[in-house]
Structure 1
Amino acid sequence: MIRKACVMKLKPGCEAEYKKRHDELWSEMVEMLRAHGGHNYSIFLHPQTLQLFAYVEIESEEKWQATASNETCQRWWKYMADIMDTNNDNSPVAEDLVDMFYLA
């Protein structure tokens, strides 16, 4: 299992809406993430900075990278684009974090 983490950012005032949308995560999005090898996916909010810390365990980089071209993922990105910082293709602006410590 490969552990990945990144930081993203919410737009001001969108905390409750972000939480609501993830509480109501589409079943096809869950299925797509699992089909692409995603497990133990968590996202945390730092309220003062509006940074989102995402952590996921994946089976392979290739499988995980393929999510970006998946139609369900692209619809999700479009759905989320109004409440978070995004790139031109609606993907979240995400900065990968460097793995520094792990205690199993």
Structure 2
Amino acid sequence: MIKTFKMKLYPGMEEEYERRHNELWPEMIDMIHEHGGRNYTIALDPDTLTLFGYIEIDDPERWAAGADTAINRKWWDFMADIMETNPDNSPVSVDLPVLFHLD
């Protein structure tokens, strides 16, 4: 299953966002894989600072359970200063419908 979504960076945080993801913690990588995520890509529209995420997941419920892990919450806290977040520091994320996909 494909999951697509959008998030939003704060102005001037493009390089910092990329730097943090280039140094993604091994524990976060493990959590993503353990919860069925693979082929994860995040792209940026520099004109709007909108991030577009694409990830292939095995099962939506299994994937959603990853949000409640300690490492994921630590990541949210780590990222909260550079992007729009909810009160619990989770990123403000809007699911996007997939209208076309070609393997």
State the percentage of identical aligned residues.
52
Look up the SS of the partner of 2:52 in the other structure.
strand
Amino acid across the alignment from 1:31: D
Paired position in structure 1 for 2:51: 52
Deviation at 1:99, TM superposition (A): 1.1
Paired position in structure 1 for 2:27: 28
Deviation at 1:103, TM superposition (A): 1.1
Kindly provide the CA deviation profile for residues 25-80 of structure 1, in whole angstroms up to 9, marking residues without a partner as x.
Answer: 00000000000000000000000100000000000011100011000000000000
TM-score, normalization by structure 2: 0.99
| Structure 1 unaligned blocks of 5 or more | none
C-alpha RMSD of matched pairs (Å): 0.4
Matched, 1:94 2:90: no
Moved over 4 A (4+): none
Structure 2 distance, partners of 1:21, 1:71, is 18
Matched, 1:43 2:53: no
Matched, 1:82 2:81: yes
TM-score, normalization by structure 1: 0.98
